[in-house]
Amino acid sequence: MKSQTANAAEAPPTEKGATRREEILAAATALLLEQGYAGFSARGVAARAGLRLSHVQYYFASPAAILAELLDRFVRRYGEEIMARFGAAKGSSEQRLHRALDFLLNDEAYRRDCGIFMIEVAGFAARDKVIAAALTRYYDIYFALFSDIAKTLNPALAPRERARRARQCIALIEGMSITRPHMGEAGDADFNAREATRAIMRLLSRE
């Protein structure tokens, strides 16, 4: 899928150019995870990748363009993972939803990446239009994902009502992501996923 990052320079249509671009993004990811947004810069990315600053700037016009590309990749990657878990044929609708929500709420790699992108990076959306546009794409994809889930679980819902409930699902999940306990009463790390599954099944099953 072609990146929609607004201000990123287009890589030349060569294998070498594509490889170089991936090297830059890999270095940027490592730097962001280690240093957070506060320690992120194009110069730092260049040093991590073993490149000149001008090489990084050839592919990405600004640090924000790099971050926007990483945010786009984040939501595409995890959106596909969520739908793969929900779309697996094995199990009831509730079991399939639970698999998707368990990933969203309990997968440590996802929660780590989400903390970086949705707390640190997204916090600067009001200051930078490139990051703001990437954040809008994030929620567009997230909304479409839960609209599809809602349609699968309750095909009778009218489009407008389905959209409303999809937004409620997103708000519920984001709230539980922030407040989730480390463990359930019986040491069960799946606690919130089960609670969220029941709540969303109730929300989507009503006419």
With a cut of 90, say whether residue 161 has pLDDT above it.
Answer: yes
Q: Report pLDDT for 206.
A: 78
Share of the chain above pLDDT 90, in %: 40
pLDDT digits 0-9 by tens, 1-51: 344 444 444 444 577 888 999 999 999 999 988 888 888 999 999 999 999
List own/partner pairs for 154-158 with CB under 8 A and 24 or more apart. Answer: 154/204, 154/205, 156/207, 157/204
pLDDT digits 0-9 by tens, 64-99: 999 989 888 888 888 899 999 998 878 899 999 999
Q: Report pLDDT for 182.
A: 46
Per CATH, the homologous superfamily of domain 67-205 is: Tetracycline Repressor, domain 2 (1.10.357.10)
**Average pLDDT for 168-178:** 84
Q: Report pLDDT for 3.
A: 42
Question: Where in the chain are the domains?
Answer: 10-60, 67-205
H-helix or E-strand containing 90? none
Give yes or no for a contact between 144 and 157, defined as CB atoms under 8 angstroms apart: no
Per CATH, the homologous superfamily of domain 10-60 is: Homeodomain-like (1.10.10.60)
CA 195 from chain centre, in angstroms, equals 22
Q: Report pLDDT for 183.
A: 41
For the chain, what is the mean pLDDT?
83
